[in-house]
Structure 1
Amino acid sequence: MAHAYREITLIIGKSRIGAAERHSRPVVDPATGETIGELPIATADDIRAAAETAGRAYEQWRKTSSHQRQSILRGAAAALRARREELAWTITTEQGKPLAESRGEIEASAETFEWFADEARRSYGRIIPSRFPGNRQLVEIEPVGPVAAFAPWNFPLINSIRKIAPALAAGCSIVIKPAEETPGATLIAVECLLEAGLPEGVVNVLYGNPAEISEGLIRSPEIRKISFTGSVPVGQSLAALAATHGKRSTMELGGHAPVIVLDDVDTAQVAAMAAAGKFRNAGQVCNGATRFYVQRGVYDAFLAAFADHARAIVVGDGRKDGVQMGPLANDRRVLAMERFTADARRRGGGVVGGERLGNAGNFFQPTIFHDLDPKADAYHTEPFGPLALVAPFDEEAEALQRANDINVGLSSFVFSDSAKRQRRMIDGLQAGLVGVNTFTVSFPETPFGGIKESGHGHEGGSEGLEPYLVKKFVHVA
């Protein structure tokens, strides 16, 4: 069932500022190329007002009991589920993924609200026995303060919720800038929070010029913490600016995940799992599998089965029944896929797929590069699209060397039926997330974060609340 695409507005306290009141840019359906809405561009005054509003709202929100914060977040989770079909249609229409994947993102978002609702009740201080008779030593927990958060377009709802939920649970207010390509889902989530009783001004939403908004918020004296999910270069720039102003940051940056397939597995089963994991969300997944290193004894069988599964994937408009992979979220990603493919062909690698599909929309074939020169561009730059690289190896040490020979370390995967071999791979892989015989490494209750240039800090789990809290030591003599 189709739904009307909602009006896009800035949210600053009680104010709702639409495209008619500001310069605007179109919001485009990636499946058709058609304009579905207009996005208002925040002015410098809007950015300043959002930071000031968050600062004022924080002084009241921080005093709200953890029980009340829990109730509001749980109410928002229920409201998300009640609006599931509207939300799924919105996500698919502005981002492209099939409706089934959008519904899964909504459920994960609701569970994230619920997890952090309960974490609000579990943020404890502690008592430290004093060396002095009659004295007390306490460690108290307080919210860090107003937060500036920046979320990308690949998972437009959950990426925003992963920042909003812990901030609110901790007692922080927040100004969030979701991606300009995918604005609608976050606005619906904010409506759900307000329906659940969140005071206006605790969550504020800006869209516009990303560099102008990020710099304006980070420089604002009200803002005490930064949270960013996105590319390595942008994240490093924002982290440097935050450090200049003495503000803590959480950076969830790029990945280029290796997959090591050892020769003791059911090759057909792993190939089917690989296709489902790789081409989910058209490969636009920061912790998704990209570089497949397959032991030579099963290499040919794996490659053949993997290629067959890739060719069989039904690509089309994510709102239509039977579609397994939608369009890429924007034309920039299609152009990137074309550049990677041209480079692979120049270098003599094997290419399965590698073509744009249709005359409208951002559709690209599920694509596999195999037996490719390790110097190829796709090995050194995260493709962030429906593109997998497959290469053989002989010894475990060779697989680990190739898996770790990169500047990022978000996720990694290993497939083996041997507990000893699994342990060696887990110990050797340099990544913040390791999946063993699975491509699923993210849940609301588990920490999500990388090493190397994949960033610092965590989202999810009890670790996800910590960046939004500060500790105050109190010594009572």
Structure 2
Amino acid sequence: MTTEHGYPAVRMYIAGQWCRGGTGRTAPIVNPATEQVIGEVPLATTADLDRALAAAAEGFRTWRGTPPARRTAILHAAADLLTERAADIGRTMTLEQGKPLAEATGEARRVADTLRWHIEDARRAYGRIIPSAPGTVLSVRREPIGPVAAFVPWNFPAGGPMRKISSALSAGCSIVIKASEETPATAAALVACFVDAGLPAGALNLVFGEPAEVSAHLIASPVTRLIAFTGSVPVGKLLAAEAGKVMKPSLMELGGHAPVIVCADADPAAAARRAARAKFANAGQVCTSPSRFLVHESLVEDFTAEFVKAAEAVVVGDGLAEGTTMGPLANERRLQAMLRLTADAVSRGAVVRTGGGRPDRPGYFFAPTVLTGVPADADLMREEPFGPLAPISAFSDLGAALRTANELPYGLAAYGFTESAATAERLAAELEAGILSLNHCGGSVHEAPSGGVKESGYGREGGPEALDAYLVTKRVSHLLAG
């Protein structure tokens, strides 16, 4: 069933049933390219959340007890359905989030591979037997932690939920996930793939609602055993504090303000092209997006000229329109943030080299923007922009650039460009970030861990480390009879 805009009707999924919610409360869903309401999302009541929790408790017992070979078959079937439905999921994502259709469809395809990685990695979550005293068997077992409460934002409507869902289900846990109310249909389409693949009722539950109400209820419940969150630093701190009150472990993938250091021996044009491509992907609404460009003074003009050229080549428009390479911002809040950050930087002496405003058309569009001469006290240099703003500054000493890169409380991603092996090793050793890319601006991959340090969070998603939070390490000492 779809609306007149070709957008799917959105439902929650609780205890094996698609449902509207107890009171029929809803919130509007807006297409950010047109500012038109294209649907509505149901909002859960406390009773709905309690049903989801009860279902997750029962679903955990069922799913944990399902033989691993059967679990694997169901999850692989879901991955196959994700691949088959990627084009439809991508179109839905573009309607509700705005990113270009090619980006959205690519994201939908990648989540199938994310699931496949976690399925196979879970098959290798081995325990071990430890040599011990005669008559004693000492072993270590890896067991699913239990029902998971997960919370994800709107910037990657498929990728965000799948990192939580795939880890939890592959480890043998059940999950209640609250996806974003701004991009709900993509999350529902992912869940439908698991349902159609034969996942037992209760193993996966999808809810929407008032974020503070939902998070408080799910975290406090004795049913949930792990809190997994992706989002902003302030909200992450609140959720981690709530989890701490009830001594629950949490996985926190929070925001950043990623520095890019372009060293004196780098190719400025190549560095600028690669950095700009990453900067304007998803309209800059990526927690690992390069967002502070520190360029050696001998290269800064060449780097800036090439970066401006790349920015001006970006085709801004409706994500469904052919040729669009950058869609709108996801909501009015992000648009106003771009206007505020740009105005603040200019008021402090920064120069807009290209962009700097919104086009005269409906939608939450903002031009790819490059600024130079942005002072260190500008809001843009200290606050994660989460949008298509690129402040470029010059440096003369690499040590000073490293200090500037590390001075903020964030530590999610960082980038460096150099042709020197020794300099590359110095960047790797001294940049304070959980993710470092050298001579490119690569994103997260399912086969390697991603996560932050300092206020950018803790725990890792991706790679063999992804399952750590979802598994309990149990020591068993067995004294044999006789």
TM range (shorter): over 0.9
Residues 197-236 of structure 1, C-alpha deviations (whole Å, 9 max, x = no match) = 2112110011010000000000111100000000001001
1:63 to 37, 41, 65: 65
1:100 Cα deviation after fit: 1.0
Question: Partner residue of 1:471?
Answer: 473
Aligned to 1:134: 135
TM-superposition CA deviations, 1:65-95 (whole Å, max 9, x none): 2222222221111101101111010011100
Equivalences for residues 102-117 of structure 1 within 5 A? 102-117=104-119
Identity %: 48
Secondary structure, in 3 states, of the residue corresponding to 2:287? coil
- Stretches of structure 2 lacking an aligned partner (at least 5 in a row): none
1:17-416 alignment runs, 5 A limit: 17-18=19-20, 22-130=24-132, 132-351=133-352, 352-416=354-418
Report the AA paired with residue 239 of structure 1: A
Q: 2:460 is aligned with what amino acid?
A: H
Give distance in 1, aligned partners of 2:302 and 2:311: 14
Structure 1 contact 81–107 (Cα < 8 Å) conserved? yes
Question: Equivalent residue of 2:65, what SS?
Answer: coil
1:446 corresponds to which letter in structure 2?
A: A
Change (3 A) 1:247 1:20: closer
Determine if contact 2:260/2:293 at 8 Å carries over to the other structure: yes
The one-letter code of the counterpart of 2:130 is: I
Unmatched segments (≥5 aa) in structure 1? none
What SS does structure 2 have at the residue aligned with 1:354? coil
Aligned-partner residue type, residue 116 of structure 2: E
Query: Aligned partners of 2:368, 2:68: CA distance in 1, in Å?
Result: 47
CA distance in 1, matches of 2:16, 2:204: 10
* Residue 445, structure 1, aligned to residue 447, structure 2: yes
Q: Shift of the alpha carbon at 1:20? A: 9.6
Structure 1 residue 282, shift from structure 2 partner: 0.1
* Contact map agreement 1:19 1:39 (CA 8 A) in 2: no
Shift of 1:61: 0.8
Q: Number of paired residues? A: 475
TM-score, L = length of structure 2: 0.97
* Contact kept in structure 1, 2:22 and 2:44, CA below 8 Å: no
Distance 1:441 1:276 in 2: 11
CA offsets, 1:15-48, max 9 Å, x none? 3222795111111100001111111110011111
SS of the residue corresponding to residue 357 of structure 1 reads coil
Q: What is the CA-CA distance between 1:345 and the residue it aligns to? A: 1.2
* Preserved CA contact (<8 Å) 1:227 1:249: yes
Which position in structure 2 is the counterpart of 1:457? 459
Distance 1:228 1:102 in 2: 22
- In structure 1, C-alpha distance between the alignment counterparts of 2:464 and 2:310, rounded to whole Å: 38
In the superposition, the TM-score normalised over structure 1's length comes to 0.98
2:423 paired residue number: 421
Contact 1:232 1:453 in 2 (8 A): yes
Local SS of the residue matching 1:242 = helix
Tell me, yes or no, if the aligned pair for 1:316 and 1:325 is still in contact at 8 Å: yes
Kindly provide the amino acid, as one letter, of the partner of residue 49 in structure 1.
R
What's the C-alpha RMSD, in Å, of the aligned pairs? 1.2
Match of 1:12 in 2: 14
Instruction: Give the direction of change, closer, same or farther, for the CA distance of 1:275–1:424 in structure 2 (3 Å limit).
Output: same
- The 1:404/1:107 distance shift into structure 2, 3 A limit, reads same
> Which moved further from structure 2: 352-361 or 378-387?
352-361
The answer (yes or no) to whether the contact 2:283–2:388 under 8 Å persists in 1 is yes
Indicate the SS of the match to 1:389: strand
Runs of 4+ in 1 over 4 A off after TM superposition: none
Point out the more displaced range, 375-384 or 433-442: 433-442
Q: Is contact 2:21–2:48 with CA below 8 Å preserved after alignment?
A: no
**Structure 2 residue identity aligned to 1:294:** V
* Secondary structure of the structure 2 residue equivalent to 1:397: helix
